[in-house]
Every structure is written in structure tokens, then in C-alpha cells.
Structure 1
Amino acid sequence: MALETSLENPAPVRTVANALAGWIDRLGAVWVEGQIAQLNRRPGLATVFLTLRDPVADLSLSVTAPRALVDSLNPPLVEGARVVVHAKPSYYATRGTLSLVARDIRLVGLGELLAQLERRRQLLAAEGLFDRARKRSLPFLPGVVGLVTAPRSAAERDVLENARRRWPGVTFRVAHATVQGPRAAGEVIGALERLDADPEVEVIVIARGGGSVEDLLPFSDEGLVRAVAAARTPVVSAIGHEPDQPLLDLVADVRASTPTDAAKLVVPDVAAERDHVRAARLRLRSLVHGTLARERTGLAALRSRPVLADPATLLGRRAEEVAALRDRMRRSLQHRLDRAHDDVGHQRARVRALSPLATLERGYAVLQDADGVVVTSVSALAAGAPVRVRVADGRVHADVTALEPLTPPQEDSA
């Protein structure tokens, strides 16, 4: 039943605490999986206190377990171990704390652990965190290299010494973190985020030596995998030896088989680069000498040609061609003019032959009445009518004295 309270009728703390204890006590037992973050065995107590941590979220639960249950586990329960606990929630009203009372604890075996890692790999792969398209290329010569590793570890020594042996001027920014145990994943994530936030760091190496599957488990932590996927700086994974492959290897931009191999990947070899520069310089010098030799030969060949030895020869030949073309043009133009002149004469003669004036010059005349109308029949005139006669060189004014029609010729009858 819910507590009935009000501002005027508040419930005492003990009542609320007892109500919470009653509600939680009615909850059933649950199976919960997590990682042992703390293990506290207090002398003289029959109860062991545990802190169960979620491997992804920053969450934890308090667990109490009978000492006999904990002591019966084989192998012994240690911090960092993965377990599945069957427990019932319990609220301690006197202290106001919530914890799980363990009834059974099962250590996650290697086979189950590998199966869980495979399920986690498939889940993250389905999200695209391992896609090749997300991979970024490493800079040729980074100004500052970030390194996440355990302090004074062999992995740190291998990366630093081999990188400086290859390129003495390389600068490292080292962020130390625990690389084994329950705190490893969180510390590595923190170190990664600090280096990723540094604008001078151009590549980050996460390095650790080899170990068992349990030892390398923090580098398959889902939180670490997501942190690497979200980093803006390219990340190189150098965890364990060649056969080891935690999930960090899959999400990293580049996987190195060993910390020593990581040093070879992040910086070039100064001796090899010097040899490459020397070889490139020799090739360039040989190429330049060959080009100059070919150009000298070409210039000598061009200079030996007659046109360059005596440029006036070409100009003289062209002048002769121009003169010949000019004469040819003049002859052609004169021929066209002569033909045109003859055509004009012929047309003029033809026009003159067809001109009425030429007809008049042959003795013909044109008769017009007083109005200037050409007379073509005697019926258009009368005796005494004035007329004008048009001849070749003028006009004659006259009067009609008589009219004499002509009789048309008779056609022969059949």
C-alpha cells in the first residue's frame, strides 16, 4: 500500500525506510553479470562485501555474500573477475543502503568469456564501429605522439626506444594508466581522452605486453571501444603479441602486432628515409643531365639546318614565290578585263541594233498627231490635220493634204 502523507501529516524517516525495505523485499531474486571491482573480507565476519561494476556504464552495486559461498569458489574470487551472481535486492533501513544479497556466484569461464566477447564483437560490428571506411591514415611524421601504457612497463620502453632509434627527433606525450584489473578500462579511457583533447598530439598509441585472455580483457571493454571510435586522433593498437586480438585491435585505425611494431608504424626510419632521399636525388640529377644532353643535341641539329644557318635563303625563296603570284594575278586580272571589255562592246552593239534611233537612221520615220499619239492607221487622221514626223535627226511639222488607204493583198483562192 502506498503511504498517505501530506504537508500537515508527513511520515517519519523510519516509516519511509521501513516501507522501502518492505517494497524491495517483495522483489524477486535476479541474475546479474558484472566485474568484481572491490572484494572486502573483514576479519571475524561471516559476510564478504563486494562491489559489482558494470563493464560499460559507470555504475556499480554493493553485494553481500556469505563467506562460505565465496570460499567455496574454485578458482578463488579476485578483483577484476567476471561473475554472474544470483541475488535478491535488500534495503537496510538502519543504514539507508541498497545491496544485493548473493545466493549463488558463478565465475565466468574462459569459454563463456570468449563467447561473450564474440557476442560483443558482433554487436559492435553491426553498429559499424569496425568498418574499414572509418579507418584514418597515420601522418607520415607526427609532431607529437601520444602513448597510453603502464608506467615503467616493457611496452613503454619498447615503443620509446624503438621510435627514437628510428627517428631521434620524435616527441612523445605519455599518459600512464593501469592496463590490467578492474580499473584498467576506465583509466585507459581517461588517458585516451586527455591525449585526444591535446591539439599537438597527431597519433595515439595504446600499448601493453602480452598476457592471458583475462589479462587483456580491459582492452575488449565496450566503453573503451566506443571511446576509440569517437576519438578525433588516429589510434594505433599495440596490445599483446601477434596471436592476441582484443576488440581494441578491430576499432583502432591501425593494428600493430607488438609495441615494437607500433614504433615502426608511427615514425619513419631516418636511415631509410635518408637513403630514399639520396636515391631520389641521384635519379633527379641523372634525369636533368639526360634532359640537358637531349636539348643540346636538338639545338645543334636545329642550328645546322640551312634555314637557320642562312635565314635570308628562306626569305628570298618566299620573295620569288610572291613575285610569281603577283605576275600571275596581274595576267589573270588583265585577261578578265579584256573579256569584260569585249562583252561590253558586244552588248552595246546589240543594244544599238535594237534601238528605235537606229531604225530611224535606216530611213524610217514615226508619225504623231497633234497630241503626240503615234499614228498607225490613216483612219486616225483627217485631211488638213496637223501632224509631226520624227526622223533620225529631228522632227518635221506638216499638215495632211490627202489620205490614201492601201488595199490589203488578196489571198489566193484554192
Structure 2
Amino acid sequence: MANQIRNPSAELEGLLRDHTSYQNPEFLAVSGQHKYHFSSNPSYPDGSVENLRYIKYEPIRGIECFATGQIFDNCGDAIEHWKIQKRYDARFVMHPQECVTVKHDSKVLYMLIFPKVIRDISVWIEEHAKGQVSDVDMWEVLKKTEKAMRYLSVESHSRRSHGNLLRGIGIAADLNVYFFNFGADKKGYSTDIQVLDDILTSIEPKLVDPTIQHCVTRWKSFLSVACSLSSCATTPPLFCPFDSNHVRVILHYPASWDDEEKLRFLANIHKLCTDKCHRYPSNLMNDSTFDAEMAKKYSNWGNLISATTNALSQVYQFGCRQGNYLRTDRAGNWVLWEASVVLFAHNSVKHYSERAQAHNNKLLNNPSLTYMPELISSQVLDALYQEFSKFIEDIYEAFYKALENGYRHHMFNLSQILSGRL
């Protein structure tokens, strides 16, 4: 009999709604007109008990809801964590100063309250290993975890404490990711990145879906290369191991990107590759490391495109006539410029979006024309991925290598390049 696919967080929420799981709940606090009670943690058929504390409250009279609490011994720690969490994610029920409870020994505790039932990610990993969490759901959790961890690159200038994020990443029933533990140890960011690598390592051999497994394998490979900087004898020109720039570039790996983020990155890299400033030579196409990395994977990309009959080949042929994708070799012959695949990809997105829009605008004056469905950017992106599997990841890894070897732009910083619009 096949394993039943489950959602561990949704199951826990169902157990909490069973009145037998919170008989005589411990009173916690009152905020406004809402009363909060600790809910007794439910036990499972195998005898295990959830480690986190759960709370019952009524946002509307007669409507019971459940939340997850993070407990602190003193108000200072609670407020400090609240401030960091507030910058990262404002989804809280109340300020920790409003939420206090008294233990039997009269010790006052403070708490952050998350408005959903969450379970730590280790539970999801264990259930996935048993075949009871689907690869698709586990992959969605991984992507959202990496995206949520980007707060590290924003907070890297602060003196935030670090701890075991494996016990501090919470997953809700809707697969949203929360951080409920910022740790108690003063550790470096290498610890946080290692946790992410450990999570990928534990999940990779259990994956059945070959596409998802390939994505996880490649992600792990990138982390192993990026994190090897921590043992380098010399300091890289742009960033030191696990400083703010290094953390930022590690945690922005495209594994978790949606189409909009991929297109924005492609547009930004295109801008770097077409930079014409002569006073500060920072054209990425002219960077020897970026050029060499792209040449390893795209030495024959022009022939692959020209051999197809799809619309992308038209963009390629037009660009070649303009000399956009060519350069001269040492003998003076015109040859394909491998790194120009970046220009081609950006031109494809731009050309077909503009062409469809211009055609459809003509309909306003000539209703007899046939409507041309607009090729939205994500459709062009899909077409590019059919020809070049994971080409955004290839570009990102080549860009990372260039950064490692000293590339920098005279006008744009790393944060702008990775997540802004240039």
C-alpha cells in the first residue's frame, strides 16, 4: 500500500481543534478584547509530543483560532527579537510587552505570538523521508525557506544572535515559512548556511521526482563552492567569507526565484553586459572570469538556436546581422561570443513582448486585424529554458565566480544587482 501524502502542519492544527487536547487551558494574557490561553500540546499515536507551545484565542467571539508562541525569559530579549522579526515579517498577534504569563514559581515570561499553527521543518523532513510528504510540497518548503532566509543578508550588519535554524524554521499548513527562533549562541553566518546545506543533504536522496532532485543537487553544489571560501588562505577581493556581501549572494541563489525575479536579474545582468562607461571599465562581458565560465557551457549556443524553427531563431539571426553576438578572435575572424547568450535572452524577452503589444495596439484603428496573443515575458522565459536548461542559474554562477575574482561595478552595488531594478 502506497504511503499516504500528508501535511504535518495541517494535521497538528486538526489535533489542536480537538477539545480533548486543551482541557483546562492555562490562561496566558488579555490583549484588547481577546483572551489567550496556552493549549496543552497534543500527543501522537507513536507517543511523541510537539516541542513548541500553542495558543488558543478568539479573534471573533465564538470563533476559535490557534497560534504558535516563542517564549523568552526577559522582556529585553523578547523585544529585541520582536524588532528583528518585525522588519522581516510583521505577522504577529501582539507586542511581547502585552503578552506575559506567570509560571508556578512566579517567574514572568514574555512571548512572540505567530498567528498560525507552525511545526518546525525537521518534522517535515522526517515525514518526507517516510514518503508521507510529497516531493512537490517539500520543494515548495525548501524554496520558501531559502527566500525567507534572505533576511540574514539584510540583518548581517546587526549583532543578532545565531542558533540552530533547523529548530527555528516553522512551516504552516499553507506552506508559508516562519522563523520562530533566532537562537541563543553568538555564531557566525556560516552556521546558518551550513544548516541550509544540511537540510538539502538530508532531503536529496529521498527525492523521487528527477527534476526536483536535479534542482536540489545543483543548489547543494553551488553552496559547496560558495561556502568553501571559509577555508581560503587569501581573502577574495570583493568579500570576506560570510560577510554581508557573501551571505547575500549565497542566499539569493535562483533556486527559489519566481519568473519575475529571474527576468529582473536577467535585465540587470544585461545592463552590466552593455555598460559603455570607459572611465570605469566594468562591462561584465569583458570580465575574463565571467567570459570563461559562460564559455564552458555555451560554446555552441548559436548553432543550437539557428537549427530550430521557433521564433527565437529569428531573434538570433537578426542579432547576428547586427553583430550583437559576435567578436573577433586573435586571427581577426568573426566568431560567436559565448557570453552574448545573455544579450540574446534579454533581446528575446524584449522583442516578442514589444512586437505583440505593437500589433495589438493596431486593433484600435483596424478591428479587422486578428488579435495576436501577447507573448508575456514568462512564456519567452519558458521557451529559453527549453533550449538552455537552467540558463539563469548558469549566468548566476558565472556572475558569482566573477565576484569572487574581483569584479565590481562602479555604479551599482550587489544588493541592487540581485534584487533591485537598475
TM-score range, shorter chain: under 0.3
Q: Which has the higher helix share?
A: 2
Q: Which has the higher strand share?
A: 1
Kindly name which structure, 1 or 2, has the bigger radius of gyration based on alpha carbons.
1
Greater relative contact order structure (CA < 8 Å, 6+ sep):
2
Report the TM-score when normalising by structure 2: 0.22
